[in-house]
């Protein structure tokens, strides 16, 4: 079982470490502080660096597991950590782990007898990569079982409006009939509804929410409302109030292909001015109806997104009339990311390496943070890490807008609020600096949602593991 950086990471750590075993002795005493980023937030964690050997005393008389929490420093490449865990209760366990970014990681070992005694950690990785331990404690099987009983895993049946031969109504009816549920495992079910809150007008959003409400009640199947301004939810042909539209070039992500030349683009040259060269290009054409991927740093666009999100949550409150039992939760945004090399993988548009986003508003935002963002001379670590955290900032800003709107409407805490996590390691810029895209979605105020495809109830047991 693995606990990585999430919105409640500090709570998790404080709960875990409050009952940790005391450190008895170790070869080279060293309490160190490690500072790094999880999502848009910088954290400093203190732990024991195991240069040679450390001994922890565990005194619990009734337990079945030992929980060990590690923390790893930021590193631009995967770093191996290797050590031995031994003691009278666990015989021996050899730990070997490759890091991906800064994060606390907890794993559990089953004990072979109830009287624990001392637990010894021996560094096998040499002086260059000593493990850092945040804490160790005994955990009973009853405690883990209680956590699992409190856990809720919802199987969301995806409703695709454009599915050939089956409209949304038929899809939901089929989901209500066939979607598996397992109360014993804490697994419930729902259907999903994409709410293009930034692309539809207010009446269009109201009609969509009313329809979702009616279907949820009719089929006794709650709905996950996916508030989305990406993909098909992109605000295309929507006036920006400044004489343009929100899918104009001004609002689009600007890409850079360092190893290939692109056709001359006079509009892009005008937008970028002296910075322009023919390595710059757009996110279009693409295989998704030539939908442009929009920047995450435009003040007018982000202000519009926040305004429409507030309006949508207000409409949701009006439609609910105090009863939110039909709502399984709200998920925020569908795959916010840069239009990079992997975005066109497997299509005719795939080509050489592609980076983003270098829209003038992104360049200006980086400059305000003291970072000169210029792909023409390559991207330094400082530029790559800024681009990485920029996506996390977008996630956090979106959560802040939704959280505030839910509080204003008296809906806060009535149902879960999720971000949308991309469980990929190959996305730019994280692929260059050993950072997984999943951590973008770690935001204070929301749980981190995971998108994947599950077919059998047994799949959920593996997810929990």
The pLDDT value recorded for residue 426 is 77
Q: Which residues contact 435 (CB under 8 A, 6 or more apart)?
A: 100, 101, 388, 429
The yes or no reply on domain 152-464 and CATH 3.20.20 is yes
pLDDT, tens only, 8-42 = 333 334 344 444 555 555 454 488 999 999 999 99
CB 420 within 8 A of CB 334: yes
CATH 3.20.20 range(s) for the chain read 152-464
CA 380 to chain centre: 24
CB 9 within 8 A of CB 40: no
Task: Give me the DSSP letters along 88-141.
Answer: TTTEEEEEEEE--SSEEEEEEEE-SSS--EEEEEEE-S-SSS--EEEEEEEE-H
Average pLDDT, the chain: 87
- For the record, the structure tokens of 346 come out as 């497997």
Burial state string for 102-114 with b = 16 or more CB within 10 A and e = fewer than 16: bbbbbbebebeee
**How many whole angstroms separate alpha carbon 351 and alpha carbon 340?**
10
Rounded CA Rg of the chain: 25
What share of the chain has pLDDT > 70, as a percent? 88
Rounded to two decimals, the pTM is: 0.89
**How many whole angstroms separate alpha carbon 247 and alpha carbon 290?**
11
- The stretch 438-444 carries a mean pLDDT of 92
CATH 2.60.120 range(s) for the chain read 9-148
Residues 9-148, CATH architecture: Sandwich (2.60)
Name the least confident of 145-149, 349-353, 390-394, 406-410: 145-149
- For the record, the structure tokens of 12 come out as 């998790």
Largest pairwise CA distance in the chain: 75
Element (H, E) at 383: helix 381-408
What are residue 105's phi and psi, to 5 degrees? -130, 130
**How many whole angstroms separate alpha carbon 465 and alpha carbon 446?**
22
CB 90 within 8 A of CB 112: yes
pLDDT, tens only, 343-388 = 888 888 887 899 999 999 999 999 999 999 999 999 999 999 999 9
Kindly report the number of other CB atoms within 10 A of residue 221's CB atom.
Answer: 21
Strand partners, 192: 224
The pLDDT value recorded for residue 18 is 41
pLDDT, tens only, 114-140 = 677 889 999 999 888 899 999 999 998
Q: Which residue from 375, 451, 362, 414 is spatially nearest to 222, judged by alpha carbons?
A: 414
């Amino acid at each position: 079982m693995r606990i990585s950086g999430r919105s409640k990471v500090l709570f998790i750590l404080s709960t875990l470490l409050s009952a940790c075993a005391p450190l008895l002795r170790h070869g080279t005493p060293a309490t160190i502080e490690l500072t790094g980023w999880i999502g848009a937030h910088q954290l400093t964690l203190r732990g024991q660096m195991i240069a040679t050997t450390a001994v922890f005393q565990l005194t619990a008389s009734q337990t079945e597991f030992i929980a060990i929490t590690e923390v790893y420093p930021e590193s631009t490449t995967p770093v191996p950590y290797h050590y031995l865990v031994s003691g009278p209760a666990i015989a021996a366990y050899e730990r070997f782990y490759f890091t991906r970014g800064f994060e606390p990681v907890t794993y559990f070992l089953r004990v072979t007898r109830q009287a624990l005694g001392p637990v010894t950690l021996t560094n096998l990785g040499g002086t260059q990569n000593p493990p850092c331990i945040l804490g160790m404690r005994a955990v009973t099987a009853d405690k883990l079982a209680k956590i699992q009983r409190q856990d809720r895993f919802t199987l969301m049946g995806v409703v695709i409006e454009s599915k050939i031969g089956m409209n949304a109504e038929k899809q939901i009816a089929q989901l209500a009939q066939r979607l598996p549920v397992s109360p014993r495992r804490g697994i419930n079910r729902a259907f999903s509804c994409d709410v293009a809150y930034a692309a539809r007008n207010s009446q269009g959003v109201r009609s969509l929410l009313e329809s979702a409400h009616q279907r949820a009640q009719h089929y006794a199947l709650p709905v996950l409302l996916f508030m989305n301004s990406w993909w098909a939810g992109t605000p295309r042909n929507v006036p920006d109030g400044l004489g343009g539209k929100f899918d104009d070039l001004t609002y689009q992500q600007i890409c850079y292909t360092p190893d290939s030349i692109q056709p001359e683009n006079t509009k892009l040259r005008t937008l970028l001015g002296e910075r322009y060269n023919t390595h710059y290009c757009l996110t279009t054409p693409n295989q998704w109806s030539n939908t442009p991927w929009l920047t995450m740093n435009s003040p007018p666009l982000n202000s519009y997104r926040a305004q429409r999100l507030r309006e949508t949550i207000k409409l949701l409150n009006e439609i609910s009339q105090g009863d939110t039992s039909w709502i399984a939760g709200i998920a925020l945004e569908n795959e916010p990311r840069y239009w990079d090399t992997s975005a066109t993988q497997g299509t005719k548009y795939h080509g050489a390496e592609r980076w983003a986003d270098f829209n003038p508003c992104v360049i200006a935002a980086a400059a305000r943070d003291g970072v000169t963002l210029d792909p023409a001379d390559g991207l330094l670590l400082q530029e790559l890490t800024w681009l990485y955290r920029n996506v996390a900032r977008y996630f956090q800003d979106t959560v802040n807008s939704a959280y505030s709107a839910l509080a204003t409407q008296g809906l806060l805490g009535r149902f879960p609020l999720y971000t949308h996590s991309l469980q990929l390691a190959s996305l730019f810029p994280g692929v260059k600096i050993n950072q997984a895209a999943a951590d973008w979605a770690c935001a204070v105020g929301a749980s981190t949602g995971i998108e994947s495809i599950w077919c059998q109830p047994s799949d959920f047991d593996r997810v929990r593991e």
